[in-house]
Structure 1
Amino acid sequence: MSVVVPVYNEQLNIEKFYEEVTRAIQSINMNYEIIFVDDGSRDSTPLLLSRLTQQDDHVRAFILARNFGHQLAITCGMDHAAGDAVITMDGDLQHPPVMIPDLVQKWREGYDVVQTVRQATDDADFFKKTTSKWYYKLLNAVSPVHITPGGSDFRLVDKRVMETFKLFREHDRFIRGMIGGIGYKQTSISFIAPKRFAGQSKFSVRKMMHFALDGITAYSKIPLRISFYVGMVSGFFSVLMILHVLYCDFMGEATPGWTTTMVVVCLLGGLQLIFIGVIGEYIGRIFEEVKQRPLYWLRAELGKNKK
């Protein structure tokens, strides 16, 4: 079994996480490897990972050349995983290692994907809970692929699923949707995420917004279609406005309409800017893909694969 762990400035959590994951894996009597992917940390995380790889042959570490983001860090670990089953999880202990035996049991029962579903998070504030709830409602409303509300990047996937996943090489990744729509036999397990063991979340509001936008644009063209339909409706009302103006002029009732003019100009101008932005977002993603650059590149690879 391979356990893939993306980390970014997690020097306070690494050793505790390693201890708990090792204990959980050894309880199920499987050969294993723990793959840490350092996503351009600026603290002592790489040094701690180097020490762990020297102490334990089960540990491997990939040090990315810069910060590529959480989803690409996961991808790097999955690309290099050698296990018959691969578990991805975060290194802040909010994905409980004690659940690993439960994931493996479901896999042994014949499931190819075992997804965990977060019912609640102990340290989540009202804003995060509310935005998460409505984000999943919006995402499922516009996406042909159903994304389980509360789904996390804590999951187990079979080697067959991994081989299929490796064929997906888009840069702007939303792995929850990719795995959710990949097929195979899937099931889920619920959990309550505990507080972080130490440190603060690196998932800022800006990163959260970018991640949310990736999820919508990666799986739906509906924003583009909405732009088209709203444009059609706006055009229809513009024609009605023109007919109204011509009628008033013909009847000699034309009066200075500064307010009406400003409302119409501001409304249509605002809509045009919004939809140009939507179109630009998709064009920007096309631009990134056609360059065909690698998803990530490494600064160092530590440890050895023990099969």
Structure 2
Amino acid sequence: MDLTIVVPIFNEEENIPLLCDTIRDALTESGLSYEVIFADDGSIDSSFDRLKEQARKDPRYRIIRLRRNFGQTAAMAAGFAAASGRVIVPMDGDLQNDPADIPLLLKKLDEGYDVVSGWRKDRRDTFINRKLPSLLANALISRMTGVHLHDYGCTLKAYRREVLEGVNLYGEMHRFVPALASQVGARVTELPVRHHPRRHGKSKYGISRTMRVVLDLMTVKFLLTYSTKPIQLFGKMGIYTLFAGSFTGSLMLYMKFFEQVSMNRNPLLILTAFLLFMGVQFIVLGLLGEVNARTYYEAQGKPIYTVRETVNLER
């Protein structure tokens, strides 16, 4: 299989027929063997019925139905796990991504890249609650991860299959896959893609998601820098804190013996005890992190979703 397109779906009943038609039209003349895996993320409208209608017409359309709404990252992970294509392309199911851009992503991938990320250069969204938070988030993510992309939030991306095999997705991690892929040496680039205004339905995104993205960014930063050596982070903090505690303790003793300041009336006593205690805590936390890191890399991971049923998917 040359290509697998993964489409997370949540309450997109009005968009599904046109989405399937546009995907088919975009790839008809490509000569590629492909499949489209729709991950129905617990839709409560008739999205699943619409998907089954499309799957009956074309066996290349395959469906995974999750038992409840696990979130876009989990739905995407379910699609990745079932994919059989050499290249995997996720895209949104709201018709804002254009399937006609997929051949362009594949052409860029053929230049020797492992990940090609879409860049919604002319984004058709509101500025205050969509564009502005996205600009700030992209700048922050690029700075902290070292992988400079204009649009981490664009779902339309192209991955070589082997890049995704070692990536486990949690939280809102799907947007950070290019940064995680760079950790194992993947070549990452971006390509401007078209972006259309939403035709039907209501957006599931909002400014409230920004906080979750920031928290996941902290996790990604830790994974990129210290996942295999947590003692280097917490141990360093512990040493600095112990040095600070030793300094305040020495200052307290100097004040006692040379300035006749009673220790029990000196606030430095409490500060010294606090710093020494925290220094030991940081070092112990680093050692526990080392143990957990080995467990993380050696144990089998648990899936973050459960599947209710599948259609046209025997694997």
Q: Deviations over 1:36-72 (max 9, x none)?
A: 1112333332222222212333311111233444334
Q: Tell me the amino acid that sits aligned with residue 61 of structure 1.
A: I
Which residue in the other structure is 2:62 paired with? 60
Which residue in the other structure is 1:162 paired with? 161
Which residue in the other structure is 2:73 paired with? 71
CA contact 1:57–1:304 (8 Å) conserved in 2: no
CA RMSD of aligned residues (A): 3.9
Number of equivalences: 295
Cα distance change on mapping 1:17 and 1:181 into 2, 3 Å: farther
CA contact 1:118–1:150 (8 Å) conserved in 2: yes
Counterpart CA distance in 2 for 1:132 and 1:272 is 36
Extract unaligned runs of 5+ from structure 2. none
Shift of 1:200: 1.6
Q: Tell me the amino acid that sits aligned with residue 303 of structure 1.
A: N
Cα distance change on mapping 1:273 and 1:120 into 2, 3 Å: farther
Alignment match of 1:235 (pick from 234, 242, 245): 242
Which residue in the other structure is 1:200 paired with? 203
Which residue in the other structure is 1:21 paired with? 23
1:150 and 2:157 matched: no
Counterpart CA distance in 1 for 2:181 and 2:21 is 28
Counterpart CA distance in 2 for 1:219 and 1:111 is 20
TM-score by length of 2: 0.73
Cα distance change on mapping 1:291 and 1:102 into 2, 3 Å: closer
Deviates more, 1:285-294 or 1:42-51: 285-294
Q: Percent identical across equivalent pairs?
A: 22
Equivalent residues in 2 for 1:173-212, closer than 5 Å: 174-183=176-185, 187-191=189-193, 193-197=195-199, 198-202=201-205, 204-205=209-210, 207-212=212-217
1:218 and 2:223 matched: yes
Q: Tell me the amino acid that sits aligned with residue 131 of structure 1.
A: A
Alignment match of 1:293 (pick from 285, 297, 302): 302
3-state SS, counterpart of residue 201 of structure 1: coil
Extract unaligned runs of 5+ from structure 1. 141-145
- Which structure's relative contact order is higher, taking Cα pairs within 8 Å and 6+ residues apart? 1
Which residue in the other structure is 2:134 paired with? 128
Counterpart CA distance in 2 for 1:29 and 1:99 is 15
CA contact 2:117–2:190 (8 Å) conserved in 1: yes
TM-score by length of 1: 0.74
Q: Tell me the amino acid that sits aligned with residue 156 of structure 1.
A: A
CA contact 2:234–2:285 (8 Å) conserved in 1: no
CA contact 1:8–1:38 (8 Å) conserved in 2: yes
Q: Tell me the amino acid that sits aligned with residue 312 of structure 2.
A: G
Q: Tell me the amino acid that sits aligned with residue 300 of structure 1.
A: E
Q: Tell me the amino acid that sits aligned with residue 233 of structure 1.
A: Y
3-state SS, counterpart of residue 156 of structure 2: strand
Counterpart CA distance in 1 for 2:231 and 2:96 is 36
Which residue in the other structure is 1:254 paired with? 261
Counterpart CA distance in 1 for 2:35 and 2:235 is 50
